């Protein structure tokens, strides 16, 4: 999709959605198995570096089976982790040069990323991760065509899919005081806009969240920053040994079927307090959803008459502290702000039970 018209003032680097997220860690086969449980199917292997591509719908996840360079260093520093992500752009060379001119920094020298060391258009991303700009994607002229194809993957994908379609958004957890660094980065380099700002307070801890949206409206990156030393954001940063991707949200056209299929395979989801489900009809009168089926699956709902609805659920920590979200949008373009508070409360309750934080009775 070499759409020169997209290289305009509003979308100066021609961004056009997420292409992939890249993972590394000490047990790559376990990571691949986890992704397969979630409905992803291995389709290609990069012969240059033994990186496996897993696909479902329009989503690509890459896993380093034999990490080297940055991927090896990242695994050593962070354990199971996301060491890179890619934005699709209209023209990679133009976007890369434009990004450098607009203040991004090149990933220096031999980067060791998933696309192998001869891929030139790689920037420095959050927490030492790699940020690629890529202009060959999709099934036509895909960059994976040059990789070794796994025989029969199309049929295998059809059988294994749980209905996930698109990488909707992913979040970054940033260190205290760094929210503006990263909102400024995405704004000045890619012309992301600030979408919504939330101040979320629990009983003892809190966080700020600033949602950033790219000019193509398809790349969305909410940034989370702690308000104190003990919140779940700080706990993530300690556990992950740095800033990085916190959760990755994937869309489905039928969240009930997707989540039921994932549960049947043994994927673990975050639980929600029982009273949440009792309050849905009061909070969102006339929502029209099957609350009993939501309760059974612990699926959350948010939105309003004006903004439309969304259904969502979060997995348990999957790769180190990184987890996934399954989301079905029904006109709502937010991130589940109302649920954000509910989720925050439920995680904080867990922190209190584990003794990580204390509240006065
Ligand atoms: Fe989310």
Q: What is the DSSP string of 17-82?
A: EEEEEEEE-S-HHHHHHHHHHTT-EEEEEETTTTEEEEEETTEEEEEESS--HHHHHHHHHHSSEE
Give the pLDDT band (50/70/90) at residue 274: confident
> Which distant-in-sequence residues (6+ apart) come within 8 Å of 108 by Cβ?
none
Q: Which residues pair with 86 in a beta bridge?
A: 20, 132
Q: pLDDT tens-digit profile of 287-314?
A: 999 999 999 999 999 998 899 999 999 9
Q: 79 C-alpha vs ligand 1 centroid, how far in Å?
A: 23
Q: Which of 62-76, 107-121, 150-164 has the lowest mean pLDDT?
A: 107-121
Rg of the chain, C-alpha, whole Å = 20
How many angstroms separate the alpha carbon of residue 318 from the centre of ligand 1? 15
Q: What's the 219 CA to ligand 1 centre distance in angstroms?
A: 12
Whose tokens are 């989801």? That residue is 269
Q: How far is the CA of 38 from the centre of ligand 1 (A)?
A: 17
Q: Is 208 exposed, middle or buried (0-12, 13-18, 19+ CB in 10 A)?
A: middle
pLDDT at residue 265 in the model: 97
Q: How confident is the model at residue 346 (pLDDT cuts 50, 70, 90)?
A: low
Which of 52-66, 78-92, 106-120, 245-259 is the least confident region? 106-120
What pLDDT score does 203 carry?
Answer: 77
As a whole-number percent, the residues of the chain with pLDDT over 70 amount to 93
Residue with tokens 């699956």: 297
The pLDDT of 168-197, averaged and rounded, is 96
User: Per-residue pLDDT for 139 more than 70?
Assistant: no
Highest mean pLDDT among 109-113, 145-149, 200-204, 340-344: 145-149
Average pLDDT of the residues in 190-218:
90
CA of 250 to the centre of ligand 1 (A): 9
pLDDT at 2 over 90: no
Residues with CB under 5 A from ligand 1 (ion): 249, 325, 335
State in Å: Cα 249 to ligand 1 middle. Answer: 6
C-alpha 164 to ligand 1 mean position (Å): 15
Q: What's residue 6's pLDDT?
A: 45
Residue of higher predicted confidence among 339 and 292: 292
Q: How confident is the model at residue 225 (pLDDT cuts 50, 70, 90)?
A: very high
- Specify the pLDDT at position 354: 86
- Give the lowest-confidence range in 272-286, 299-313, 321-335, 344-358: 344-358
Structure confidence at residue 116 (pLDDT): 86
Distance in angstroms (rounded) separating the CA atoms of residues 279 and 299: 13
DSSP state of 346: H
Alpha carbon of 1 to ligand 1 centroid (Å)? 28
Query: What is the pLDDT, as a whole number, of residue 93?
Result: 94
> In the prediction, which pLDDT does 141 show?
66
User: Ligand 1 mean position to 50 CA, how many Å?
Assistant: 30
Summarised one tens digit per residue, pLDDT across range 228-243 is: 999 999 999 999 999 9
pLDDT value for 5: 45
**Cα 253 to averaged position of ligand 1 atoms, centre (Å):** 16
Q: What does the mean pLDDT of the chain come to? A: 92
Q: What is the pLDDT of residue 278?
A: 83
pLDDT band at 4 (very low <50, low <70, confident <90, very high): very low
pLDDT greater than 90 at residue 48: yes
């Amino acid at each position: 999709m070499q759409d020169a018209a997209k290289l305009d003032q509003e979308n100066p680097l021609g961004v056009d959605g997420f292409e992939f997220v890249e993972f590394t860690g000490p047990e790559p086969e376990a990571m691949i198995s986890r992704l397969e449980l979630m409905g992803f199917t291995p389709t290609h292997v990069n012969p240059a570096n033994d990186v496996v591509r897993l696909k479902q719908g329009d989503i690509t996840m890459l896993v380093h089976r034999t990490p080297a360079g940055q991927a090896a260093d990242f695994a050593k520093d962070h354990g199971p982790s996301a060491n890179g992500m890619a934005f699709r752009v209209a023209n990679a060379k133009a976007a890369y040069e434009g990004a450098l001119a607009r203040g991004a920094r090149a990933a220096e020298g031999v980067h060791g990323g998933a696309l192998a060391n001869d891929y030139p258009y790689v920037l420095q991303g959050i927490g030492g991760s790699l940020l690629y700009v890529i202009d060959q994607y999709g099934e036509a002229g895909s960059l994976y065509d040059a990789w070794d194809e796994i025989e029969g993957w199309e049929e295998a994908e059809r059988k294994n899919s749980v209905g996930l379609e698109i990488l909707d958004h992913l979040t970054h957890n940033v260190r205290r005081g760094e929210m503006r660094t990263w909102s400024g980065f995405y704004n000045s380099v890619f012309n992301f806009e600030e979408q919504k700002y939330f101040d979320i307070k629990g009983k003892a801890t809190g966080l700020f969240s600033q949602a950033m949206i790219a000019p193509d409206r398809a790349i969305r990156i909410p940034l989370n920053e702690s308000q104190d030393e003990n919140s779940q954001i700080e706990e993530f940063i300690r556990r992950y040994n740095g800033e990085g991707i916190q959760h990755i949200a994937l869309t489905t056209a039928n969240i009930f079927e997707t989540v039921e299929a994932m549960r049947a395979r043994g994927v673990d989801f975050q639980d929600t307090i029982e009273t949440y489900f009792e309050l849905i009809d009061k909070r969102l009168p006339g929502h029209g959803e099957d609350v009993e089926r939501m309760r059974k699956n612990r699926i959350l709902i948010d939105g309003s008459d004006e903004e439309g609805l969304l259904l969502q659920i979060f997995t348990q920590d999957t790769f180190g502290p990184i987890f996934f979200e399954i989301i079905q949008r029904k006109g709502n373009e937010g991130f589940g702000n109302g649920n954000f508070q509910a989720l925050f409360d439920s995680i904080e309750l867990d922190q209190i039970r584990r003794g990580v934080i204390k509240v006065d009775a």
